[in-house]
C-alpha cells in the first residue's frame, strides 16, 4: 500500500510515534475533533454553494424580468409609431 509516497513500514512508524506522543486514550478524542471539524467544513461549503445558487437564480430572474420590460416597451413604442404612420 502506497499512501502519499510512504510505504507500509513508514506508516507503521508514524503511527507508533503518534501513539507515543499523544497516548492511546487521547487519539480517539483527536479523531472525534477532526471528524467534527471536517463535518462543519463540509456543511459550511454546502451552505456557501446553496447561497451562490440562490443568488445566481435571483439575478437570472431579475435579468429576465428586465429584458421582458424592455421588450414590451420597445414593442409598445413601435406599435405607437405604426399607429401614427397609418393615421397620417
- List pLDDT tens digits, range 44-80: 999 999 999 999 999 999 988 888 888 777 776 666 6
| pLDDT value at residue 51 | 96
Q: Whole-number mean pLDDT of the chain?
A: 84
* DSSP class of 5: T
Q: Where are the alpha helices (DSSP H) in 1-88?
A: 8-22, 26-87
* Alpha-carbon span 13 to 20, nearest angstrom: 11
pTM: 0.52
| pLDDT value at residue 35 | 95
| pLDDT value at residue 40 | 96
Amino acid at each position: 500500500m502506497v499512501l502519499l509516497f510512504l510505504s507500509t513500514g513508514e506508516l507503521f512508524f508514524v503511527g507508533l510515534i503518534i501513539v507515543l506522543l499523544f497516548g492511546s486514550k487521547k487519539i480517539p478524542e483527536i479523531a472525534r475533533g477532526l471528524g467534527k471539524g471536517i463535518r462543519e467544513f463540509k456543511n459550511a461549503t454546502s451552505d456557501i454553494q446553496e447561497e451562490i445558487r440562490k443568488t445566481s437564480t435571483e439575478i437570472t430572474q431579475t435579468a429576465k424580468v428586465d429584458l421582458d420590460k424592455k421588450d414590451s416597451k420597445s414593442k409598445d413604442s413601435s406599435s405607437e409609431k405604426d399607429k401614427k404612420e397609418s393615421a397620417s
